[in-house]
Amino acid sequence: MHEISELPAPLKLISRLIDIVIAVSGMTIIAIVFMNAVLRFVINIDSGWSREIVTFLMLWTVFLGCAAAAARSAHMRVTEIVALVLPPSGRWWLEIVVSIVTCALLILIIWYGVRISIRTWDQETSVLYWPTGLLYAAMPVGTFLTLLFVGNDLIGLFRSPTVGQDTGRHT
């Protein structure tokens, strides 16, 4: 795994902003769920809006968390077991192939995520009347941010001075 400090300045800033949003979202989720539980227990009131907000925050946190993990190269990798039997040059090529396939899949997720978000933008949630497309927008936004970090890793692989050099990723 590489450190956030090894990222280019713009990606470092994006990573920090993602971390802040995730932390604030997590604290907000905890506060809302706790408040709703207390209201139910003490005065038997259920706030319907809390479920919608927590759903929005949770979904956005999941997709932003995917990008945060990609920024640290912390995702589980298919290459971890296979790489044990390959020579260094084979591991380098395997990293290249896996990164390219990952980028292609992320682009597909972005494409379909944008389409789903646009198609559902006119629908509203039942309590807060927020656009449902905003909920679905978490997928293409979080995936695009993930693509930035995976793409940076792929560029780093091509910039390696020698084939098979340690790329800093955990394989």
- Domain membership of residue 163 (yes or no) is no
Q: Give the pLDDT score at 167.
A: 45
Domain boundaries, position 60? 4-158
Q: Give the pLDDT score at 165.
A: 47
In angstroms, the CA 117 to CA 121 distance is 6
- Domain membership of residue 19 (yes or no) is yes
- Domain membership of residue 169 (yes or no) is no
- Domain membership of residue 171 (yes or no) is no
- Domain membership of residue 14 (yes or no) is yes
- What is the model's pTM? 0.85
In angstroms, the CA 25 to CA 52 distance is 14
Number of structural domains (the chain) is 1
- Domain membership of residue 20 (yes or no) is yes
The per-residue pLDDT string of the chain (171 residues; one tens digit each, 9 = 90 and over) reads 567 778 889 999 999 999 999 999 999 999 999 999 999 889 988 888 999 999 999 999 999 999 999 999 887 776 667 767 888 788 888 888 889 999 999 999 999 999 999 999 999 999 999 999 999 999 999 999 999 999 999 998 888 755 444 444 443
Q: Give the pLDDT score at 79.
A: 64
The DSSP 8-state label assigned to residue 87 in this structure reads -
- Domain membership of residue 165 (yes or no) is no
- Measuring CA to CA, how many Å separate 113 from each of 39, 65, 118, 138? 36, 17, 9, 8
The DSSP 8-state label assigned to residue 168 in this structure reads S
Q: With contact defined as beta carbons under 8 Å apart, do 144 and 133 qualify?
A: no
- Domain membership of residue 118 (yes or no) is yes
